[in-house]
């Protein structure tokens, strides 16, 4: 891997974050700055934490830490989607179901990648380890 852009979890997290950002701009005004702000931040943080972790990939523990943060942000995004839908601020059930499903799947994929990193990633902070 030469770039975080090659990670499927990066690509699978960026597009729905942009879609959610656009959706929140159409929320009722009282939600735009409350729940809208929260879900914008958490959905974008899923991607941002993947990028930040990859930037620290030289240190396995740092990479893992940021992948854990990414998964937590993913789960937080699901919670905010649920809140918006259940309070009827997000009325489009098809979009809600689609985003909910994508983030559920993404959370599992981040976890699977996290497990792979734990089991297979070389820790470059230790002497005598291999290269990427």
Q: What is the DSSP code (8-state) at residue 89?
A: S
Cα 26–chain centre separation: 22
Q: Please tell me the CATH superfamily of domain 8-120, with its number.
A: 23S rRNA-intervening sequence (1.20.1440.60)
pLDDT at position 124: 54
Give the position of tokens 């931040």.
41
What is the per-residue pLDDT across 50-100, written as a single tens digit (0 to 9) for each?
999 999 999 999 999 999 999 999 999 999 999 999 999 999 999 999 999
Residues 6+ apart with CB under 8 A from 26: none
How far apart, in Å, are the Cα atoms of 132 and each of 3, 60, 74, 125? 11, 12, 27, 13
* Residue 31 in tokens: 């939600």
pTM metric for this prediction: 0.89
7 close to 26: Cβ distance less than 8 angstroms: no
Element (H, E) at 82: helix 60-86
Statement: residue 130 has pLDDT above 70: no
3-state DSSP assignment of residue 22? helix
* Domains of the chain by residue range: 8-120
């Amino acid at each position: 891997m030469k770039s975080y852009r090659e990670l499927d979890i990066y690509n699978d997290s960026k597009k729905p974050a942009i879609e959610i950002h656009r959706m929140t701009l159409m929320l009722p005004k009282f939600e735009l700055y409350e729940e809208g702000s929260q879900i914008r931040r958490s959905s974008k943080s899923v991607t941002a934490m993947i990028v930040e972790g990859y930037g620290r990939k030289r240190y396995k523990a740092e990479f893992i830490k940021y992948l854990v943060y990414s998964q937590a942000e993913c789960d937080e995004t699901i919670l905010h989607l649920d809140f918006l839908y259940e309070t009827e601020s997000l009325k489009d059930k098809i979009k809600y179901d689609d985003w909910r499903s994508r983030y559920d799947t993404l959370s599992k994929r981040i976890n699977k990648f996290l497990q792979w990193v734990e089991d297979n990633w070389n820790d470059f902070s230790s002497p005598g380890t291999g290269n990427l």
